Amino acid sequence: MDRVYKIVDLLLKSNCPVSVDFIAQNLNVSNKTIRNDFPKIQQIVDEANLKLTKKPGVGIIIEGLEERKLRLEETLKEDNSYIEPFSPEDRLNYILKQLFISKEPIAVKELSQSLYVSRVTVQKDLEKVEEWLSKFNLTLKKKPSYGVEIIGNEEGWRKAIANLLALTSNKGYEELKELLYDECERKIDYKSISKLKELVNIDYRLLENIITKAEKKLEFKFSDEAFVSLIMHIAISIKRLKEGKDVKLSEEMLNSLKENEEYEEARQIAEEIEESFKIKLPESEIGYILLHILGTKLLEGKSENLTIALEGQGDSELAVIMAREIISIAERALHMNLSNDKQLLNGLILHLRPTINRLKYDLALRNPMLKEIKENYIEIYGVAWMTSTVFEKYLSVKMPDEEIGYICLHLAASVERNKNPLKALIVCASGIGTSQFIAARLEKSFRQIEIIDVISIIELKQRSLKDIDIVISTVPVEVNRPKLMISPLLNQNDIRRLGIFIDNVYSNKSKNDETYPIIDKSLIKVRGSVESKELLIKEICTDLVNSKYVDNEYVYSVLEREKIYSTAIGGGVAIPHGEVALVKRSCFAISILDHPICWGNENVEMIFLLCISEADREKSRKWMRNLYNFIDDSSNVKFLKSIKSSEEISRVVEEFIYADK
């Protein structure tokens, strides 16, 4: 079914018929395989009230209303199984899993048949496999008529399979937590554990009980991620020991590890494992368990005097020193006072002790949120990266991105706590009952806002807004403040929109008086034939989402507005736009068409798709006035059509938009 979704998605993204040859080549499968998928494709298209048209000698195309195509595309994305089944990354994970599971070399032909791709493709994938394995000092042994197998030392092998375990599901590390225990009792979910068992098949309930028992006996708790990580690593150790493979730690390292107070914890866990799994653990394996305890154990302590309690305690004291230096660097970079944030200091200290041990003993840490952290906290991630000098200074190690990501989260939480709440005015039709309900819900859902007043629409005329940052209303209002209209019942969609709105106001507040480019050259496009305005809007909005200008749902608000009234303004120009609350950053996207298309009752060949954020609402009045003046002169439109360079188009339009007229 995964391949069928892939084909349907490819057809939805195409404006013209697509040949079977092209689809087969794109998915690295045979033409026959694609034709065999047609009945399933037909069923999906029919259920979406669309039409699958086959044009002999040309190809196939999905035809129907653009709204229905958009809905089908969203449905495919929401389906968990639609995760690029034939992408290089998925083939990489599959090949690695087979190589780790198999006790014998695997033939390239066997992998080719399993993945429905050519041997040449598998050979290229194996090059990437070898590159991935090299991070753990492992290599591939490849011989004709022999097959492929992984070669390397035991420590590297264990680190590699632990890393792969965290990648075995599409949801990543978070799903592994769910596999091991539920929210209430932290028990293993055997219905879901199958993916984990494909690589390491042992009794996870028994192993979980051992770790839980150790927590209670020794009076400490692992974090959720640490609990999962420790179980994973011990499971791998048990599997490898039963296969006659064990790790070898030097005498010097073993003696050093035995000096840690946690050695007794590791020894007790080892005894339980030996008894439960009928296996003998060499001393090096106890040391290996200790390494992972040191890299995961959380300090117990949340008091105001945590720093005093840890003085003179080796790594714990070092964690205090490093935490203070990290805060000092962050303060200077962010121009904020973070020294009084006890929650930040304590949080960093609690995080740093296991971090110090991980870095000291070269233990890997997965950060499943790293991509989102980098995207959502660009500036703060850069500051966290600057604090890596602290780790180089005290530990003489290079800070991995995963660790930087966690430091970023601590700093981001502190920045949020330091933000002054937005002063909000609630405006409703009556000012009674409904407005009080909304105020109560808002105070409960958003600690970033402080409700200053709740008034009716009539009272708004006399109300000064000097003490107000934002206006939230259930009726249309005209105010010179960022505003958002919500439903009187404040549903979940309103809550989501409010979250976006508040984030956008915060992010634009400090930049409100700045002048920045409103035209993005990458969003200026000269387009050939376009089938419809709906398809064109969809393409432009996709570019806007990818460039982080608007929220994913912005396209629907633009299309809905077009249903209500056409945004064609004459002279072959249209200015479509969507809901302000869904705009992250202001931007004009410009499309110039080779051939006019029908737009309401007019033909249009130049489109300015306008995205105006709440924070730029005041400034946008000048931008819009100047843009209308520019468009109103037909010679300007004609001149713009004659320009072929996006840089030149940008320069000409910005010159008019920013003009002081």
Q: Are residues 138 and 169 in the same domain?
A: no
Q: Are residues 203 and 264 in the same domain?
A: yes
Q: Among the listed ranges 194-198, 445-449, 575-579, 628-632, which one has the minimum average pLDDT value? A: 194-198
- Choose the final residue of a domain: 243, 261, 294: 294
Quote the domain boundaries for residue 111.
88-152
Identify the top-confidence range among 120-134, 228-242, 304-318: 120-134
* Residue 415 contacts residue 443 (beta carbons within 8 Å): no
Given this model, what pLDDT does residue 411 score? 92
Please indicate, yes or no, if residue 346 is contained in any of the structural domains. yes
Q: Are residues 331 and 383 in the same domain?
A: yes
Please indicate, yes or no, if residue 170 is contained in any of the structural domains. yes
Mean pLDDT rounded to a whole number for the chain: 79
Please indicate, yes or no, if residue 514 is contained in any of the structural domains. no
Q: Are residues 524 and 648 in the same domain?
A: yes
- What pLDDT, in 10s, does the model give residues 398-430? 888 888 999 998 998 888 777 778 899 999 876
* Residue 136 contacts residue 160 (beta carbons within 8 Å): yes
Q: Are residues 474 and 586 in the same domain?
A: no
Please indicate, yes or no, if residue 300 is contained in any of the structural domains. no
Q: Are residues 196 and 276 in the same domain?
A: yes
- What pLDDT, in 10s, does the model give residues 50-75? 999 988 878 899 988 887 888 888 77
Q: Are residues 543 and 637 in the same domain?
A: yes
* Residue 323 contacts residue 352 (beta carbons within 8 Å): yes
Q: Are residues 561 and 642 in the same domain?
A: yes
Q: Are residues 33 and 106 in the same domain?
A: no
Given this model, what pLDDT does residue 178 score? 43
Collapsing DSSP to helix, strand or coil, 83 comes out as coil
Q: Are residues 284 and 317 in the same domain?
A: no
Please indicate, yes or no, if residue 523 is contained in any of the structural domains. yes
Tokens of 186: 């932290």
- Choose the final residue of a domain: 459, 483, 509: 509
Please indicate, yes or no, if residue 157 is contained in any of the structural domains. no
Count: domains in the chain: 6
Please indicate, yes or no, if residue 635 is contained in any of the structural domains. yes
Q: Are residues 430 and 558 in the same domain?
A: no
Rounded to whole angstroms, the Cα distance separating 356 from 391 reads 9
- What pLDDT, in 10s, does the model give residues 92-110? 888 888 888 888 899 888 8
For 320-376, give the DSSP string. HHHHHHHHHHHHHHHT---TT-HHHHHHHHHHHHHHHHHHHTT-----TTHHHHHHH
Element (H, E) at 231: helix 224-242
- Choose the final residue of a domain: 389, 414, 439: 414
Please indicate, yes or no, if residue 536 is contained in any of the structural domains. yes
In which band, very low, low, confident or very high, does the pLDDT at 508 lie, cut at 50, 70 and 90?
low
Q: Among the listed ranges 153-167, 540-554, 604-618, which one has the minimum average pLDDT value? A: 153-167
- Domain harbouring 641, CATH code: 3.40.930.10
In which band, very low, low, confident or very high, does the pLDDT at 378 lie, cut at 50, 70 and 90?
confident
Which residues lie closer than 8 Å to 245 by C-beta, 6 or more apart?
Answer: 154, 157
Top-confidence residue, 341 or 316 = 341
Q: Are residues 523 and 653 in the same domain?
A: yes
- Domain harbouring 247, CATH code: 1.10.1790.10
